Amino acid sequence: MRVNPPFGTIGMRSARLSASFLLVISLTTGLGGGIVLGDDRSLMDRVRLEYPQALVKLEDIFSTMRGKGVLTRKLGSGNDEKTLHWDVEFAKRGDMALVRRTWNAKQFSEEQAVIKDVYCKNLDRYVFSLSSAVDNPNLSVTRLGHDVQDFDFCYGVYVKRHAEAAYCVFGLPVRRMMEDASFKITKVSSRVEGDRELLRIDYDYHPKDLILRSGWLEVCPSDRWRIQEYETQLSAEMKGRTIKGVVEYQKDQKTGENLPVRSKIDMTDGIIAFDFQTFSLTPAPEEEEFTLAAFGFPDVEPSGAEGTSNLLGFVGAGVLLLVVAAILKALASRAQQRRPRAGES
């Protein structure tokens, strides 16, 4: 004879549901009200199998783009708080990229003047920088060659950390991080926020030549694995500071892709935010946009190596000086020959 449990069948089901509910609640992280679904080997395998391919796809999607917005940086707090502003425009077409920056010199000095800077990389031809000055509003060429160091720094600070935040941690592509021998995924956990599943990937990372170290990032697999948030430690040379990044997206009506509308980075000593005014993936910028001619300067022939144009300039100047010296010497010699000798009338 079957004996009903003390609370009956319905009571047993309620007890089981309550136990399951308590188990789920015990895994709650408190992040945005999300519920953790677990941390098991299958999630780790899923990340290792799917995430690298998703990163390749994201890099391809953002290989052509253009946009503009305002970058702000807040320093200090209370009465000492100060906010700096830069108007930024950017364009990218494969390996070619361009950054235009406009800012007021009064942010850093007593001078009231609008300063414009341009940084352009066109590796098949050259890398150049243009800038205006406090006493001259017109752009002038400040650097021309093949050295990408200045460009990479400015593009990283003003564009890559924000416009390409879907697949970068503080401007560093995650795919490059994963290719480093020191990179190791230590934990993967899943939670649900609204109708989205989010995966948090914790990792160890100790590269030799970069300032980023271990941290975590949270991605949305249903949205091409775009990064939603991240946190990373910096190296000892950077005092081991912690950097936190958050990205907000909005669907582009032309392509259906989610594009950043706001990127915020908390750097402990201040907050950097990029508010996008426009952002588009198509049509791709024209190649002519990444040339000196696009800014009203005479174009130059591609040089073979960094410093070639400068070297030719020095060599040309040296040859010119030698020619001038030879001419002056010849004229002096001719004048000496024409001068009357002593005793001649």
Alpha carbon distance 26, 43 (integer Å): 20
**Strand (E) or helix (H) holding 310:** helix 308-338
Q: What is the pLDDT of residues 58-115, one digit of tens each?
A: 999 999 999 999 999 998 777 788 899 999 999 999 999 999 999 999 888 878 899 9
Calculate the alpha carbon distances from 73 to 27, 81, 85, 160, 165 in Å: 37, 10, 7, 16, 17
**Phi then psi dihedrals of residue 335, to 5 deg:** -65, -35
Q: Could you report how far apart the first and last alpha carbons of the chain are, in Å?
A: 154
Alpha carbon distance 260, 160 (integer Å): 12
The one-letter code for the residue type at 214 is: S
Q: Which residue has the higher pLDDT, 331 or 93?
A: 93
The token duo for 274 is: 């990029």
Alpha carbon distance 214, 200 (integer Å): 14
pLDDT of residue 330: 46
The number of residues making up the chain comes to 345
SS3 state of residue 9:
helix
Locate tokens 């300067």: which residue? 297
Question: Which of 30-39, 76-85, 171-180, 284-293 shows the lowest per-residue confidence on average (mean pLDDT)?
Answer: 30-39
Question: In the chain, what are the domain boundaries?
Answer: 40-295
Number of helices (H), then strands (E), belonging to the chain: the values are 6, 16
Alpha carbon distance 125, 145 (integer Å): 9
User: How many beta carbons lie within 10 A of that of residue 260, not counting itself?
Assistant: 22
Homologous superfamily of 40-295 in CATH? Answer: Lipoprotein localisation LolA/LolB/LppX (2.50.20.10)
Q: What is the pLDDT of residues 196-234, one digit of tens each?
A: 999 999 999 999 999 999 999 999 999 999 999 999 999
Per-residue pLDDT, averaged over 28-32, amounts to 36
In this prediction, what percent of the chain has a pLDDT beyond 90? 66
The token duo for 255 is: 């392509």
Whether residue 189 contacts residue 39, with contact meaning beta carbons closer than 8 Å, is answered with: yes
